[in-house]
Amino acid sequence: MTERDRLDLRGLLPPNVVSPDVQIERFMVDLKRLEVHARDGPSDPNALAMWRILNRLHDRNETMYYKVLIANIEEYAPIVYTPTVGLVCQNYSGLFRRPRGMYFSAQDRGEMMSMVYNWPAEQVDMIVVTDGSRILGLGDLGVQGIGIAIGKLDLYVAAAGINPQRVLPVMIDVGTNNKKLLEDPLYLGLQQHRLDGDDYLAVIDEFMEAVFTRWPNVIVQGTAGVAIAGLLGAVRAQGRPMIDFPRQRIVVAGAGRLACYLFL
């Protein structure tokens, strides 16, 4: 019995059985055709079009998506993450086609402990969380900042070999102070000003309690934690004791907002 017979697909597909490699080749030909007509680098509208093609592949065939990304990581990392992901986040409500990840909002207070079980995966190893308040130096993008969490985890899967079924991008929507988004009828998030102070912390605390109740060993990533892990890992890779850490010379490429934050 063939695979098509087992899955009741006979007659629903063209007769030629196409191997995964040929499917990838077909996709790459389509993507390269777009690149031929590109005028500039990854920051121009062509990059956003490439992101949309890759995202559609992710929607319909996750295995092929990651295979393409792994085989072309140097070329497509700037498309699925920085710098293109900044443009994606700015336009996310208009680009939205299907949900990816989880959304916890200020309206979910009192419900997070139960709603965390709506995520279908029993095991989650890594969660990347954002509240959308500071996205790549672009400021407050509200719920549209979920694109950062999605793109970051895509790179972790492709470059670090993390199981894509065991990662979770999360958006914590506590509102936005972005006037344009507050007035945009297409905006997907809460159209209210951001919570702050104790109200904000109450949402974060409830989210953290819910996550660690369901997945006690999950890593919830923060930029500061990842930065210090990288620095300590660099000391270990040199074969030096951790006591040498204060004597390390640290260089950060660029003087962007994130680079400056790391030194504060």
Tell me the catalytic residues: 81, 152
Element at 21 (helix H, strand E): helix 20-36
Nearest to 173 by CA among 112, 98, 117, 108: 108
Alpha-carbon distance 173 to 195, whole Å? 9
Beginning with the edge strand found earlier in the chain, give each strand of the sheet holding 126-130 in spatial order.
102-105, 167-173, 126-130, 219-221
Can you give the length of the chain in residues?
264
CA–CA dist 184, 23 (Å, integer): 39
Is 4 annotated for ligand binding? no
